[in-house]
Structure 1
Amino acid sequence: MSFMALPPWYPPTVMTPAPAPVPGIIENDGWFPDIALIEMRDAMRLDGTVTDARLVQAVVDAVLHVNRELATWQALHAQAGIAALAEVPATRINRESRLLAQYRRAVYSTAKADLIERYRDYDSTATSLADKKSMEWLDEAPGAQRRNAQWAIADMVGRSHLTVELI
């Protein structure tokens, strides 16, 4: 295979390798905070049955979803010169902005809902009463986690909580 040489007037390109990702950290866009997987595992009680690869994928998808939900709100703050979520004026809880706690809750809950739905892939047969209760929990838990995520987002942007179910 041969490559065509670039003309002598063409500026040289310097390819700098991207820095290696930090293990156990999902790097965010710079405005929203990074997500530490070990903190999520502890907060959401995720054990070793959730592999690192599966957790990374669920958290990446959750970050993309939550960031998209907050895009307009973020743009308003960015236009006002605010460079990061931590700089948005807000009350502080446990020595940090409440917005950081709510953002993590939205991401964690969205990711956990996705993970719970995937557990149904393994075994969806209930062979005992305990299995039936577990299956009922698997049916209801993703919706509760998605509600938690939406409430965290609503709290961030100043919207009231509203849940509507179709009958």
Structure 2
Amino acid sequence: MSAFVASGPVDSGRINTDPFWPSIDLDHLRATLRIDASVTPARLETAVIAAVVNLNRELGEWRTTQLAAGYSTLDEVPGDRIKDVSVQVHLYRRAIEAGTGAEVCERYRDYSATNTGANKAVELTPNIDDYRRDLRWAIRDFLGRPRTTVELI
């Protein structure tokens, strides 16, 4: 198991983890997910770290295999590229974004105990499910597995 070190958003606005994985740009993530200022930098950082911890644990065995093959970063692993960035890096970031989005939406309920806050929480529930689905799909795509498993009973 790798050591996990997190830093940011002090000066860089990034969350850095194990050197194998790409760092996460908090400003880009905030813009991608359209997270407004009601989510404080500290709350966003906490949500991103939770997403990173979960994803890095889930991909730990895959990472170990890549390190054993001689690749020291995710971007070095051979594969297709989009905008000169590894597809694997794009999928990793997508999974972090989806995990963070779900975490932020789940925590949004804490903002207000009023009827407006409760109604907003009910409206966000489909978004949480969508984020969780996107997270699962990004991981499945990352690992090269089908998105759906179907068995006949």
TM-score, normalized by the shorter chain, greater than 0.5: yes
The one of 79, 87, 112 aligned to 2:101: 112
The one of 42, 45, 52 aligned to 2:41: 52
Deviation of 1:22 (Å): 4.2
The one of 112, 128, 146 aligned to 1:142: 128
Instruction: Specify every segment of 5 or more residues in structure 2 that has no aligned partner in the other structure, as ranges.
Output: 1-6
Residue number in structure 1 paired with 2:22: 33
CA contact (8 A) 1:126 1:135 kept: no
Give, in whole Å, the separation in 2 of the partners of 1:53 and 1:35. 15
CA contact (8 A) 2:108 2:121 kept: no
Q: In structure 1, what residue type is equivalent to 2:95?
A: A
Which protein has the larger Cα radius of gyration, Structure 1 or Structure 2?
1
Deviation of 1:139 (Å): 1.4
Q: RMSD between aligned alpha carbons?
A: 2.2
Q: In structure 1, what residue type is equivalent to 2:21?
A: F
CA contact (8 A) 1:120 1:138 kept: no
Residue number in structure 1 paired with 2:92: 103
Deviation of 1:65 (Å): 0.6
Greater helix share, structure number = 2
Residue number in structure 1 paired with 2:32: 43
Number of matched pairs = 142
Q: In structure 2, what residue type is equivalent to 1:56?
A: E
Q: In structure 2, what residue type is equivalent to 1:109?
A: A
Deviation of 1:140 (Å): 1.4
Give, in whole Å, the separation in 2 of the partners of 1:159 and 1:54. 32
Residue number in structure 1 paired with 2:54: 65
Instruction: Specify every segment of 5 or more residues in structure 1 that has no aligned partner in the other structure, as ranges.
Output: 1-18
Residue number in structure 1 paired with 2:78: 89
Q: In structure 2, what residue type is equivalent to 1:39?
A: H
Q: Provide the TM-score with structure 2 as the length reference.
A: 0.84
* SS of aligned partner of 1:120: helix
Give, in whole Å, the separation in 1 of the partners of 2:77 and 2:131. 26
CA deviation profile, 1:81-140 (whole Å, cap 9, x unmatched): 11110011111112211111110010011011011001112235545xxx84x4443111
Deviation of 1:23 (Å): 3.1
CA contact (8 A) 2:15 2:23 kept: yes
Give, in whole Å, the separation in 2 of the partners of 1:124 and 1:112. 21
Identity %: 39
